[in-house]
Each structure stands twice: as structure tokens, then as C-alpha cells.
Structure 1
Amino acid sequence: MVKERSLDGNMGKGQQGQSSAQVSKKNTYTWDEVKEHSSKTDKWVVIENGVYDVSKWVTRHPGGFKVLSHYAGEDATDAFVAFHPDKELVTKYLKPLCIGSLEKDNKPKSSIVTDMRNLRSKVEQLNLLKPNLWFYAAHLGHILALDVLGWFVMWYFGTGWLPYLTSAFLLLVVQGQSGWFQHDLGHLSVFKKSSWNHALHGFILGGMKGSSAHWWNYRHFQHHAKPNIIMKDPDIRMEYIFMLGEKQPVQWAKKKKGFMPYDHQQSYFFFILPPLLLPLYFHYEYTSHILRKKVWIDVFWMVFFFTKLFVTFGPLLGVSGAFFFYLFVRFMESHWFVWVTQMNHIPMKIDYDDKKEWLPMQLQATCNVDPSFFNDWFTGHLNYQIEHHLFPTMPRHNFHKIVPDVKALCRKHGLPYQTKTLFCAFADIVRSLKRSGEIWHDAYYHT
């Protein structure tokens, strides 16, 4: 049985795996002993009071081996709770990995940890992790409708510049909104059963976007596990093109590494990242990923997507014309994707891992953008980035309901809760790049 959480922050209903009572008869370990097991081939993690040897399990972990590796030798309780909505299912996998319990620590738990876990209990009690299927049905419906309409416009009105651009705009919306929808599915936010989420995730990301769900999971959960942490968050691994934050520029400048004029990165950003990330780099990354990992289901969905593209638009534009049309849509989507996904993170603190608790770690790396009907739709509710990072499996239509509680928790502990306008958030990307470039320049030429 899993215990109810009491006000002192103990294990909550439907949350942590085994209780300390279940593992008390086994070996006990000190924190110093746990921390010793954080090497490439030897990894232990702590979940609640249980100590788990995940050294061999990491290669089988559905979220990828790096997510678990990032927490080797650490307390992974809050990350475990945040990422796994079906605790009963994952507990079955945890049981054989349990090697003992953590030695009792007489020090009281951090009040930040206790209060955050109590807030998590409140979220569960208010059913804020329960999705509204009508919301997602409407969202999927408008994606599929616009996809058909995008083809119909060109089929009915011809391939002149006006129907061409109209069709491209409609398919741009399809691709952008499919991107936000697959994000919900990847976080297991749409259906109660994880398998349903995974199945539809594969179709949307592969069949509607020509990408890879396996690649997305592998990459994205690292970002959530350790956001804006140097060497652990793949979303900030841009050092050969961009310097980010305040520490990385100094480190690279002192070692005379890199080859770009980073003090001008705020200018060349417009010509590299927004236009080229999706049509160029991501194509290379996810294609090489699925072939290297032999993810044949994702290969199937990619083949399905491009077959559909050439069957529908090939007769209208020719094979090469259909492919160019696809790249044109992807080029426009790339701008949309980059500005929305980077506005919440690049301007925030980027640092090495100092093993902060879940709440302050997520807050230092994220900020929100003002809510509105357009902003919510345009960003796929990623304008609620703080709430999303604290509760990654929460359906996005519920983010606004927990905002007052998150703000109150931040005020209690003196933690910043940043909210910006959409255009201010966009501008802060450029401003932060300029600031990081100046730091690099000063360190490179004056040290």
C-alpha cells in the first residue's frame, strides 16, 4: 500500500514507489555511500527513502539512459514523481532494483521540499492532473481540418502564388499546433493510459510531422530533468555557435575554444537558429537517431508522412516542388518554434549542476509569459512554463488553476516568479545573447 501524505511532507497517495517500511529490512546506506555510485557504469538513485541500483536499468529506461544518469548519486524523488503519472506501473519496475534504504537522517527536510510536495498533493487532490478529453479532441480536430484544407486550397484554386501561400500558411498552423499537441502526448498529459499517449504521440510526431517520438523523448526529458544545466540539458548545447549564460562564455574564452565571433551572436542569431533549426539540424539529428537506435516504428511513420506528402502535393507541384513546399513550411515553422521555446529559457540562469531542490532548480531556469487567448494558443500554453516544469504531466488547460498556489509558494520562500509580455520575452532572447557575447569578448581579450 502507498501511504497518504501527511502535512509533514511524507509520501503522498499515488506518488512515491516503495515506502521506507517496505525496504527497512534490507541494507541501509548513508548519503556519502550513495554519492559514490555516480559513475558511468555504477549508478544509484534515491526515491523517497529507498536506494535503487539503476546501473543496468538505465539502458532500458523509456525516458533514455541520460535522464537517470543525471540523478545518479542524488535524490530523484521529485523528478520521479513529476515524470510518472502511473506510479503503480513504474513501481513494478522499481521493486527488483531496490537494494536497501537510506539511513535515517535526524535533520528535518528542507521546508522548500516539504512545501513543494504538499503542493503536489494538493494538485492531485484537486484532480488537476486529469485531462479534459474534449479540449484535446477540439485541438486535434482543428489540426486535421486545417491539414485537409491546406491541400484543398491548392487543389481547387491552383498553384498560383496566392493559393500557394495560403496553403503554406494553413499547413504552417498544422505543423505548429501539431508540435504543441505532440508535446502534451509526450508528457503523458492527454490520456490516462500511457500506452495511448505513446501511440498517438508516434502518429502526430511521425505521421503528421515526419519526425521521431523516440528522439523527442530522449532529448526532451533531459531538458526537464536538469533545465539550463550545462552538459546535462541538450537544449543549451549550442556552444560551437552560441555562448549562453554567464559562466560558459568565460570558460570557453579562457580556453580559447570555439570559432564564432560570439560578441556578434545577437545579430547572426536571426540568420542561423530560427530559420535553420527545424529544416536543417533537426532533420539530421532525428534521422540519425532513429537509424542508430533502430527505432523502426518511427521509420515507418516518417515513410508514411513523406508518402502522404508526395501523394497529395506531388500531382500538383511535382516531386521536387512538393519537397520544396515542405521545406518552405518547415522554414516558417522553425521561426515560430525557436522564438516560443527559447523565450522561457535562454534569458534565464544557465549554470553547472549545484543540485538544487526541484522548485528552485526549475524556477531559476524558467519564466512565464502573460496569459491570453492568443498567447495560450500561439505557444501551446508554454507561456505557463513555470507550472509546466513543476508539473510536467499536468494537462495544459489546468495550468492557470494552480498559478496562485505556485506564486504563493514562491513568495513564502523568496523565490522569483517571473512573468513577461510576449514581445518582452522575445526581446530578452536577443538581449541575453548580447550580454553573453560581451562576457565572452571581455574574457577572451582581457584575460
Structure 2
Amino acid sequence: MGKGANLVPNEAGNEEIEELRTLKWSEIRQNKWIVIDSQVYDVSKFSKKHPGGETLMNNNVGQDATDAFISFHKDMNKVEKYLKALKIGKVVPESDVNQNEERKDELNKDFQQLRKLAEGMNLFKPSGWFYSLHFLQLIVLDLIGTYIIYKSGYDNWLTYFIAVACLVTTQAQAGWLQHDLGHLSVFKSTKMNHLAHRVIIGAIMGFSADWWNSRHFKHHAKPNTIKKDPDIRFSYFYLVGKIMPKEIGKKKKGWLPYNLQQFYFFFTLPPSLIPILSAAETAIYLTSRKRFYEMMWIGIFTVRWCAMFVPILGIFGMIKLLFLVRFFQSYWFIWSTQMSHLPMEIDYDKDLSWFRTQLITTCNVEQSAFNDWVSGHLNFQIEHHLFPTMPRHNLYKIAPHVKQLCKKYDIEYQCKTMSQATFDIYNCLKESGEIWYDAYNM
């Protein structure tokens, strides 16, 4: 029985049933409980066992996490079994709700209707053909790259870099596939998604599925949120948005000349993110948590690459090839993901509605066959953030309905050209650096 429950007689008067007490929002925030569909849950102990990690749960305490909960969980029957033991009460209807809160509640209801529409359109149903062909391109490109290396080695620099291009494309496209698997959007079975995720990101890419999930879900739950989104935690090297630069500048802090970050950003973070930073973070994550199962998959990748390339290139040649592939893959990844986030609003957690939060922190890039392929459909970043488990080949179908909801609530729906989105990375870094410089020299 939940600690907020009371026992009361039922209609017959001879049995007792559990009645949940009502709780005010002030009490919920004070005790750091979570609200899902008007029900209150004490997750203080369960958060340490949560697959997404304790930090992910703590980032949502004291708030209504209904939309986030529904968006991340595919097997609702399974998770509701866990929730039942954590339920302690329900939210009391408050009479002093202001107009903004009423508007927020109305938007939440409309978004839930939008989700039901998407379900009715079968937009959460993956296409076996789409993902089979996507996986096939990985195998073909990997084999072509390996074949060219075996035929030419270092003898011909042109063919060598064609091979590198094939292997880079393999890794980049594998990145988009593992992303879909991590969001449980490829198979109907959650177990199959998890297994295939480890195969792709572990055996093909050489990284950890657990590490990626723990980091990426925090980003999705609180995108561009200071102290909560790990994707913007690099203030020692770069300052983004308008809030952090001003705060750091007023404190007279500055490790680097941030007013020049729009130049050095492109020569520092993109080439180092995957080859160095992500590899080091993965190693620390796995060793500190003793995730030996995850290490096994990375071991398979290591053995595979050694078997494929050491015989022809030698050990140092293999390492050089891997670094080159990671180097160019990192640029591809940064460019495809950050053009949809860095130029958008970056602020502290304001506990806005799920819909509004995603729209002010993400933007889209125009649809085309090339844009869809090169970005793994993350040119539909808005729709992906609203519906993380929706297969990416269906994101364009829900986009018109998202635009209608934005129009109703006067929320800006940003969709840019690829060139504009690329230049906006430079522009936003320049603006943030100038804000820091002005505040620092006041």
C-alpha cells in the first residue's frame, strides 16, 4: 500500500479498498515527487534502479512528467506494474490556477489528442523494408571500403580515401540506425530493439548502448536546459545561448576567448568529439559501473577491425584508419545534430509543457532525399523530439498536424534550408561570445 493511501469501506461496507489522498503542487515540489496523468509517485528510491538513470528521474521531480513518460515508454503495461507500487496520491484540483497554467493544461490536452491521431494513422508502426535496406547499406559500404583497402592499401591515396569515405558513411549511417533502435522504433519487441541496438552501436561502431541511452535520454527529456542537458555541458570551452554567457561574463570568468569561439569551435569539438571525448567517456562509464556485457560488444568491434585491417595495414595502420574514420564521422555527427539545437533557446528549466519545450529548443531542416538520408531524418528534429519512439520514416506525415497545433497556440515552427541551418551554428556561437565579452568587460 502506498504511504499516501487510506483504507475506506467499499459500497458493500464489508471490505476495505485503497483510497489515495490528494496532494497540492506545493507539497509535490517540496518532496520532489513526480506527477503522471494526475497521479503522484514517490520515485526517490526507484530512481536509482531506473534504466534511464537516477539523473534522468531527478531532472523531472516536482513536475508533471506525463508527456515525457508516454513519449519514452513503449510497453505501457510493463511500466505501469512498476508505477503501481510507487503511487502515493493524486493531484488536488487547485482553484487559484492562473491563465498561463490553464493555457498550458489546454495545450497538454491538445498534444495528447495529437498523439492519439498519430496512433490512429499507424505512424508508430515501423517499416521492415525501410530498416532492412538501411541495414543493407551498412554491410555493402563496409565491404566495399574493406575490399578497396585490401586491393590498394596505401599504394594509391585516391582509392585509400574512397575507402575511408565508404567506412565513414558506414559509421555515420550506423549512428542513425542505433539512434532509432535506442528509441525502440525499429522492432515491435523492446527486447529485440535493445539487442539490435547493442549489435549496431557495439559490434559495428565500438561504443556502448547503455552509455548512449543514459546520455541521450537526458537530452530528450530536457533539451537545451542548463545543468540538465548533457549536450550543452561544455562551458569551459564554449558558451552557448544568451543566459550562460552573461552569467559567466559577469563573474569575470573565462578560460578561453569565447568571443572567438565561432572560429575555434569548428577546429576543436567536431574533430575530437567521437575519436577522443566520446571514447574516453564511454570507457569511464563502463569501467566505473563494471558493465562487462557492454564491454564484450566493444570487444567484438575491436577484434573485427583488427582482423579486417591489421593483416594489410599493420597495427598502426589500422589505428590510423580508425582515427580518420572517427574524425570525419565526428564532423558529420556535429553538423547534422547541432544545426537543429545550438541556435535555439537555451535556458534553465522553466517547467513548460512538453510541446512548447520541444518547439523552442529544436528546429527543422527542409525535406529532401539528401537531407533525409544525410541527417538520418533528424531534419525533422521537432517531430522526433515530440514523438521519440516514432519511426523516422513517418515523421514527415505528422509534421503538418504539428504545424496546425503551433498555429493555434502562436508557437513558432522553425524550418530552415540546409545552408541557413549550417550558418546559424556560426551565428549563434558568435552572438553568445559577444554577450560574454560585453558582460566580462562591463
From 195, 198, 205, the counterpart of 1:202: 198
Looking at structure 1, the residues matched to 429 and 415 of structure 2 have their Cα atoms a distance apart, in angstroms, of: 20
Give the CA RMSD over aligned residues: 1.2
Quick one: percent identity of the two aligned structures? Answer: 47
Q: Which residue number corresponds to residue 212 of structure 1?
A: 208
Is 1:328 the counterpart of 2:318 in the alignment? no
TM-score in terms of structure 2 length: 0.93
Q: Which residue number corresponds to residue 171 of structure 1?
A: 167
Is 1:80 the counterpart of 2:74 in the alignment? no
Amino acid corresponding to residue 100 of structure 1 in structure 2:
G
Looking at structure 1, the residues matched to 363 and 413 of structure 2 have their Cα atoms a distance apart, in angstroms, of: 7
- What secondary structure does 2:220 align onto? helix
Q: Which residue number corresponds to residue 403 of structure 2?
A: 407
From 248, 268, 271, the counterpart of 2:267: 271
Q: Which residue number corresponds to residue 143 of structure 1?
A: 138
- What secondary structure does 1:265 align onto? helix
Q: Which residue number corresponds to residue 21 of structure 2?
A: 27
Q: Which residue number corresponds to residue 181 of structure 2?
A: 185
Offset, 1:110: 2.2
Amino acid corresponding to residue 383 of structure 1 in structure 2:
N
Q: Which residue number corresponds to residue 388 of structure 1?
A: 384
- What secondary structure does 1:318 align onto? helix
Looking at structure 1, the residues matched to 400 and 18 of structure 2 have their Cα atoms a distance apart, in angstroms, of: 39
Offset, 1:183: 0.4
Looking at structure 2, the residues matched to 196 and 233 of structure 1 have their Cα atoms a distance apart, in angstroms, of: 28
Q: Which residue number corresponds to residue 427 of structure 2?
A: 431
* Contact 1:207 1:305 survives alignment (8 Å): yes
From 57, 60, 83, the counterpart of 1:71: 60
* Contact 2:344 2:363 survives alignment (8 Å): yes
Offset, 1:65: 1.3
Looking at structure 1, the residues matched to 89 and 44 of structure 2 have their Cα atoms a distance apart, in angstroms, of: 15
- What secondary structure does 1:46 align onto? strand
Looking at structure 1, the residues matched to 379 and 351 of structure 2 have their Cα atoms a distance apart, in angstroms, of: 26
Q: Deviations over 1:22-69 (max 9, x none)?
A: x9712221111101122xxxxx10000211110011111111111111
* Contact 1:49 1:102 survives alignment (8 Å): yes
- What secondary structure does 2:407 align onto? helix
Looking at structure 2, the residues matched to 145 and 200 of structure 1 have their Cα atoms a distance apart, in angstroms, of: 18
Equivalent residues in 2 for 1:233-244, closer than 5 Å: 233-244=229-240
Offset, 1:324: 0.9
Looking at structure 2, the residues matched to 354 and 24 of structure 1 have their Cα atoms a distance apart, in angstroms, of: 35
Looking at structure 2, the residues matched to 254 and 105 of structure 1 have their Cα atoms a distance apart, in angstroms, of: 40
- What secondary structure does 2:74 align onto? coil
* Contact 2:253 2:440 survives alignment (8 Å): no
* Contact 1:24 1:101 survives alignment (8 Å): no
Is 1:340 the counterpart of 2:329 in the alignment? no
> How many residues end up aligned between the 2 structures?
419
Equivalent residues in 2 for 1:79-158, closer than 5 Å: 79-105=68-94, 110-158=105-153
- What secondary structure does 2:441 align onto? helix
Q: Which residue number corresponds to residue 10 of structure 1?
A: none
* Contact 1:24 1:100 survives alignment (8 Å): no
TM-score in terms of structure 1 length: 0.92
Offset, 1:221: 0.4
Q: Deviations over 1:287-335 (max 9, x none)?
A: 1111111111210011111111111100010011101110011001111
Which blocks of at least 5 consecutive residues in structure 1 are unaligned? 1-22, 39-43
* Contact 2:274 2:330 survives alignment (8 Å): yes
